[in-house]
Structure 1
């Protein structure tokens, strides 16, 4: 189906909801009510009610600007399950190659609303490790992947999102203001990678690189994290070329 084709919806609440989910799910960026009205043959008032209900149920997410809608956590988790036997297997194999080199846990992460969400993850063999499943959500402001994804956002959208964030302190090193984050974003864009200096968990460090789509947009991140007792932040930077090579392979899975 081409994205410029208009969807005619039979008079059924289920069909209308599925049509709305289809348009939002296939969109490359968050959509407004006007965008949906152009794509779906449905009264605006009905569209608005359906969007509200789907947000309440977790199938859609209302962006911080309150005008745009994107895929919600419930729909996102369903998508992860569906692709798990195909693309998910390919991504797992790429992450496993990185883990074999670094001997530490690797994550494939994207943004979902105000959180970073794990698309795929391969654990290290060490008994001491942080266990999180694909689909797990972590904060944006204090994780290597979260900060990297924020750094590559459109500036205006990022500022709106940051204005809506709750800056929860997880450790003494957690960054607690948008201004402090903006300073770090400049470093991330300059260096090509992001780090977590025990900002999310005491004793845990991480490094992340961007994953680009075919249009050059950053759509995800690839991160490696480890206890500081096993890997220092300087040690982790040695693996940036390994992560970047794997990120290029992951880009082919989109």
Structure 2
């Protein structure tokens, strides 16, 4: 393994980089530039640009009018899915006076 390959591996896989970018954009209170993301995440600018373009093409991120990166509608829907289910459970619990929850299969286990 060359030194460059070892350094690339130590900075994380493409998948972990993509998830870091999505997480940073989703949690940011303001739109971010590719340079800000590169600095925040310690990912080279060319990699940020390449991954950001792929995330845009896949509909997870978009550019605002100033050319800054913001969550797309698709990413917003993913985030809202959990909040929507939670609000429905809260309403059902309020209306019935009972505790409500969801159990989801996770491999051979169940997650409450």
Give the TM-score range, shorter chain: 0.5 to 0.7
Distance change in 2, residues 1:49/1:89 (3 Å) = same
- Report deviation, 1:92: 7.3
Structure 1: 4+ residue segments shifted above 2 A: 88-93
Q: TM-score, normalised by structure 2?
A: 0.65
Equivalent in the alignment of 2:75: 75
Structure 1 residue ranges without an equivalent (≥5): 1-8, 94-254
Higher strand share: 1
Equivalent in the alignment of 1:37: 38
1:204-215 alignment, distance < 5 Å: none
- Report deviation, 1:91: 9.4
1:136-215 alignment, distance < 5 Å: none
1:1-254 alignment, distance < 5 Å: 10-66=11-67, 68-86=68-86, 88-89=87-88
Higher helix share: 2
Q: TM-score, normalised by structure 1?
A: 0.30
Query: How far apart, CA to CA, are the structure 2 residues paired with 1:15 and 1:53?
Result: 14
- Report deviation, 1:10: 3.8
- Determine which structure has greater relative contact order: mean sequence separation of CA pairs < 8 Å that are 6+ residues apart, divided by chain length: 2
Distance change in 2, residues 1:63/1:11 (3 Å) = same
- Report deviation, 1:38: 2.0
Output the aligned Cα RMSD: 2.2
- Report deviation, 1:89: 3.7
User: Deviations for 1:105-143, whole angstroms, at most 9, x for unmatched residues?
Assistant: xxxxxxxxxxxxxxxxxxxxxxxxxxxxxxxxxxxxxxx
Query: How far apart, CA to CA, are the structure 1 residues paired with 2:75 and 2:52?
Result: 13
Query: How far apart, CA to CA, are the structure 2 residues paired with 1:92 and 1:49?
Result: 43
User: Deviations for 1:8-46, whole angstroms, at most 9, x for unmatched residues?
Assistant: x74311110000000000001111112212210111100
Equivalent in the alignment of 2:96: none
- Report deviation, 1:85: 2.3
Equivalent in the alignment of 1:137: none
User: Deviations for 1:58-79, whole angstroms, at most 9, x for unmatched residues?
Assistant: 100111222x010012111111
Distance change in 2, residues 1:47/1:90 (3 Å) = same
Query: How far apart, CA to CA, are the structure 1 residues paired with 2:75 and 2:90?
Result: 20
